[in-house]
Structure 1
């Protein structure tokens, strides 16, 4: 019997190869939650355009066929219908008001015990949190269950099928537009429909309300997606948490991917905790993050450079530090050069792929969720030309014989794998060489070439991605500002352009989402980058010192002293307390302190938040971060040498005073011109 889904298998293989050639790996968590058989509706997050279905299909546990929704009108042509069905698509009659007609293709697939995959957010977008989860998955699951119950009743129970389950799948990218970053796919626990069916099936006179049942199920699907993703109340908090994470784990891939989401969400929650130094800490982290983005540098590249560690911040370091910067560059170049002869062939062959990928990303600079897609698609199209051409050339060398074809195919396959095996190490060394070169140029050029402090301001504020017009956002009040809304984490969120706990909301243009700003040469920013790095390290260190002081005493039962903000699902996992939760202990771990009147426990014991604020013990959070490798105690170590890098540029001769002075206050560190008040 011919394979009905042959195109799906081919496309899945190509998609998997394309994704793995761009990302370092796809790390799957919770694969045991996927049944080997039976009908399933997979509800996945959608934040990276067509790469999301590529990741989902290629890495989904059990490798069962995933069926995606397509417009029913596309199936009118027999040839198009065969292509769509063979590639795993199923029709959805979107214009029909009859849900049986709307979901008939879904019913047919589920009745065969297959998997239907969809993206309930409705569109791909880039936001600091999950913005919306629509009801399509819930309607399809409940309507299918009702359909099968009626069908079973009509046939006296003959030919009944297994119950359908909804499985939330959270796809998280460590840096979704960055080459050789990682993908984490967390498969949540299946949601059975039993708790929702009585309300969905009952008559209105008996308390039935199908729409309310669908909304309840959708909220639980959303909760499953939130638990596997990183959600912040605003962009400032998310960017600051990313920068803090990079500084606490300053080496590439030093975080276990099993803990990546929990660590990131913990840092988001920490930077949402009202502490005296919070505003200063976030400001310095955001400035450093923005300057790194403006120079196309990464914290890991800078921290990997062997800058000197013996220079005192109180002692000016003139010309010798410039020579040391040159030595650093030479050293990094030689380290990369030793590896390059073994990699020069793959680099030359794949150079057009790299170039076209960068050009593709530049076409959509304002759409982060589209950049990786363009890089992958442009690169894949070129590879589909380069590899066949290489095969044809090699085959010709073997006189187009059958054995020659086999040998040529093996060589091309081995060459591609050789490239993928060596790319990570060579790519990291190349980034270090670039970082060393930019530091060298930045400290050697005259100080007058630096951007002035007034001109620097626009590069110390992170750019906020433009709003997606397909996102359902909170309605604006009469005053013209969007009201804050509670998230599944149980905390109130500011608007996307606001700054949350760090201060009043800023207009979008102030955060860089308005007019496109021109990127200056990196040599004009390097000294500012190095200053910002020290400021960020000291501010973050001061922030953790406050947390350490708070953790030295037992958490208060009458105030928030000794506690930090926490997402509700992290409270459930690691313990803590929820303000104003329901008194139903079955929904929580034994360590959770219960109050009155917030979350509601469903019949399955699933936590449903109603404005509850979660808190974790400060001591437990610090231990959580340390146990996973956070360098909390060493934030300021190793930064002394970088004073040489920018002090040398500020001094024209030995002994000349610097134009900048370091001003330290309680929880705050900043650079100001010498002589300023």
Structure 2
């Protein structure tokens, strides 16, 4: 694998910091499937604009070169970063009114050759074969560009060097445009072209078509697509129902969810639904109706599946004492910092939501707008606070001549406290929101305790019906195929 240039490592570090600030958890599965002795082509679906390539860049080992529409390279902030990472421009007809089809075709052939050279030289490239980002819970039409790029890279690989591979990548967002939610990046094993009966050395139209079909099939299994968001949500409801009932029967609390456990559970439900929709369509339809009714009952009470058995933990005695001591320290030491953090950072934070609604053409662009808008608005807020603090010191010095004249120091300290206070306020707000939700669930359990037994009976019945349908199926035990 080629060594990483300093500029690349620096920019990748910046991207990693950005995505880890926006997302609460960035989990990675199957990183060992990415080979280190050769290059390859990563293929992924494209549900979240510029966030999709940012996540791949932040998590893939080694160097990766993207192809992107040329207009992005002219954007402020984004463009210089993309050029610094070696991004290759792709010219789309809709963006090139002044370019003839022949000129655009020649430019794209040159770009394709540059990407193929990178792959043949041992680097990785990434393409989104749908060709467009979207908000659907399923794949858009898969185009042949990824297959043609791979075949060209394979043909350009020097003799004696291991051939490049194609790796499907699953991008699984908890809530793709919501700040501080979770995301999973899953690297699946390389496509076995021999097993698929594809000869990659035969660089023909037929080979490209068959390889495109293989890529589409691999992405279907990596993405777990559904026909609608309603069905997608229903599968998650089935997953939580089964997990909560299984824990209750073991006499345990349901284990805290992670983005990896959520996605693995969803993959099992998806596979079972895919098979049984063909073999038992009537039972599947009845289960969909019953599961929807059960979760509607839970929603009206403000409860979730796990809350039927145990209220959320507010902490053991030792934890409570520790929390009280921590709260005392916070009251004595952190209020000024938290107040500064909230006052300075709240305006840009709340401004980003309406800004995303106005600037984003679709939901897929909202997270991108929030991230890059935040890169401008938050530092601007910190600098503004620093300037105001410095001016305040100057004016105060006019009234109190004995006061040290240190407006620059005060301004810089204010900028620093604004940034640190913003991070502190963010994490303490997450803790406060979690505690408030736990209190609400406890109150709901007390108010509606007479309905809990009926809901537990319905949950148990649904659990058994799901397991009966799953009997005999080989359900995935990992979100990454082959693990």
TM-score band w.r.t. shorter chain:
0.5 to 0.7
**Match of 2:319?**
none
Q: Counterparts of 2:358 and 2:432 in 1: how far apart (Å)?
A: 27
Change (3 A) 1:165 1:543: same
Among candidates 87, 90, 93, match of residue 89 of structure 1: 87
Query: More helix per residue: 1 or 2?
Result: 2
Residues 66 and 115 in structure 1, CA contact (< 8 A), matched pair in contact too = yes
* 2:304 corresponds to 1:299: yes
* 2:343 corresponds to 1:424: no
> Could you say which structure has the greater relative contact order, defined with CA pairs below 8 angstroms and 6 or more residues apart?
2
Change (3 A) 1:566 1:113: closer
Among candidates 129, 139, 154, match of residue 148 of structure 2: 139
Residues 11 and 81 in structure 2, CA contact (< 8 A), matched pair in contact too = no
Among candidates 101, 109, 112, match of residue 103 of structure 1: 112
Residues 200 and 213 in structure 1, CA contact (< 8 A), matched pair in contact too = yes
Change (3 A) 1:72 1:561: closer
Q: Counterparts of 1:9 and 1:571 in 2: how far apart (Å)?
A: 27
* 2:265 corresponds to 1:263: yes
Among candidates 454, 472, 481, match of residue 563 of structure 1: 472
- After TM superposition, the score normalised by the length of structure 2 is 0.68
Residues 93 and 101 in structure 1, CA contact (< 8 A), matched pair in contact too = no
Q: Counterparts of 2:198 and 2:350 in 1: how far apart (Å)?
A: 58
Among candidates 453, 456, 462, match of residue 543 of structure 1: 462
1:252: Cα distance to partner? 9.8
1:184: Cα distance to partner? 0.5
Q: Counterparts of 1:222 and 1:432 in 2: how far apart (Å)?
A: 43
Q: Counterparts of 1:74 and 1:256 in 2: how far apart (Å)?
A: 34
* 2:183 corresponds to 1:183: yes
Among candidates 227, 234, 241, match of residue 240 of structure 1: 234
- SS, match of residue 27 in structure 2: strand
1:49: Cα distance to partner? 1.7
Q: How many residues align?
A: 424
Residues 43 and 168 in structure 1, CA contact (< 8 A), matched pair in contact too = yes
Residues 345 and 418 in structure 2, CA contact (< 8 A), matched pair in contact too = no
Change (3 A) 1:4 1:82: farther
Q: Counterparts of 2:463 and 2:305 in 1: how far apart (Å)?
A: 21
- SS, match of residue 223 in structure 2: coil
Residues 21 and 420 in structure 1, CA contact (< 8 A), matched pair in contact too = no
Change (3 A) 1:39 1:291: same
1:391: Cα distance to partner? 5.5
1:144: Cα distance to partner? 2.3
Counterparts of residues 246-325 of structure 1 (less than 5 Å)? 246-249=240-243, 254-271=256-273, 273=276, 274=280, 278-287=284-293, 299=304
Q: Counterparts of 2:172 and 2:210 in 1: how far apart (Å)?
A: 25
Change (3 A) 1:241 1:13: same
Counterparts of residues 137-216 of structure 1 (less than 5 Å)? 137-148=146-157, 163-191=163-191, 199=199, 201-202=201-202, 210-216=204-210
1:383: Cα distance to partner? 1.5
Residues 45 and 170 in structure 1, CA contact (< 8 A), matched pair in contact too = yes
**Match of 1:70?**
68
* 1:544-566 Cα shifts (integer Å, max 9, x gaps): 23456x4xxxxxxxxx8943585
* 2:380 corresponds to 1:385: yes
Kindly name which structure, 1 or 2, has the bigger radius of gyration based on alpha carbons.
Answer: 1
1:47: Cα distance to partner? 1.2
1:225: Cα distance to partner? 3.0
1:121: Cα distance to partner? 2.0
Change (3 A) 1:130 1:304: farther
1:287: Cα distance to partner? 4.9
| Structure 2: runs of 5 or more not aligned | 93-100, 245-252, 313-322, 394-404
**Match of 2:364?**
369
- SS, match of residue 104 in structure 1: helix
**Match of 1:44?**
44
**Match of 1:222?**
216
- After TM superposition, the score normalised by the length of structure 1 is 0.51
* 1:382-425 Cα shifts (integer Å, max 9, x gaps): 213223345666788793678x8986676556435434543432
**Match of 1:231?**
225
Among candidates 330, 352, 356, match of residue 351 of structure 2: 356
Q: Counterparts of 2:90 and 2:362 in 1: how far apart (Å)?
A: 28
1:86: Cα distance to partner? 2.1
* 1:188-222 Cα shifts (integer Å, max 9, x gaps): 223476789984555xxxxxx72232233333333
Residues 67 and 88 in structure 2, CA contact (< 8 A), matched pair in contact too = yes
Residues 72 and 92 in structure 1, CA contact (< 8 A), matched pair in contact too = yes
Q: Counterparts of 2:191 and 2:235 in 1: how far apart (Å)?
A: 31
1:176: Cα distance to partner? 2.2
Residues 236 and 286 in structure 1, CA contact (< 8 A), matched pair in contact too = no
- SS, match of residue 210 in structure 2: helix
- SS, match of residue 171 in structure 1: strand
